[in-house]
């Protein structure tokens, strides 16, 4: 049996250790020295909020009577003699917000 100090170090373990040490040394100053996020006052916030909020007529798709089920849409379309516009996103989920 060989003493512990004569045993070879596994290169994969050594490589992982070096990477973790490097990441810790690079990332720790950013975590320690980072300043808290800047805040804005109430007045600038309200003006920015007004700028990004959809204005009247910008989101016309929100004015459409959307039906959550195909059955409801089919009944209404049949009653009015109109076609159905089906809009779906990835995986069949609605593309529009709730």
Could you read off the pLDDT tens digit of each residue along the chain, which spans 98 residues?
555 555 677 888 888 888 888 887 777 766 666 677 788 888 889 999 988 888 888 877 777 888 888 899 899 999 999 998 877 666 655 555 55
Alpha-carbon distance of 46 to 66, in angstroms, equals: 31
Q: Is 67 left (phi over 0), alpha (psi -120 to 50) or beta?
A: beta
Q: What is the pTM of this model?
A: 0.33
- Structure tokens belonging to residue 60: 């016309």
What is the H or E stretch that residue 12 is in?
A: helix 11-33
- Structure tokens belonging to residue 48: 């920015």
SS3 (DSSP) at 66: coil
Contacts of 77 (CB under 8 A, 6+ apart): 83, 84
């Amino acid at each position: 049996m060989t003493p512990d100090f004569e045993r070879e170090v596994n290169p994969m373990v050594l490589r992982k250790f070096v990477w973790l040490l490097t990441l810790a040394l690079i990332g720790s100053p950013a975590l320690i020295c980072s300043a808290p996020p800047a805040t804005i006052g109430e007045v600038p916030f309200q003006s920015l909020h007004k700028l990004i909020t959809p204005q009247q007529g910008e989101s016309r798709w929100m004015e459409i009577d959307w039906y959550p089920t195909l059955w409801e849409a089919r009944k209404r379309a049949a009653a009015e003699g109109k076609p159905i516009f089906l809009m779906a996103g990835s995986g069949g989920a609605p593309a529009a917000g709730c």
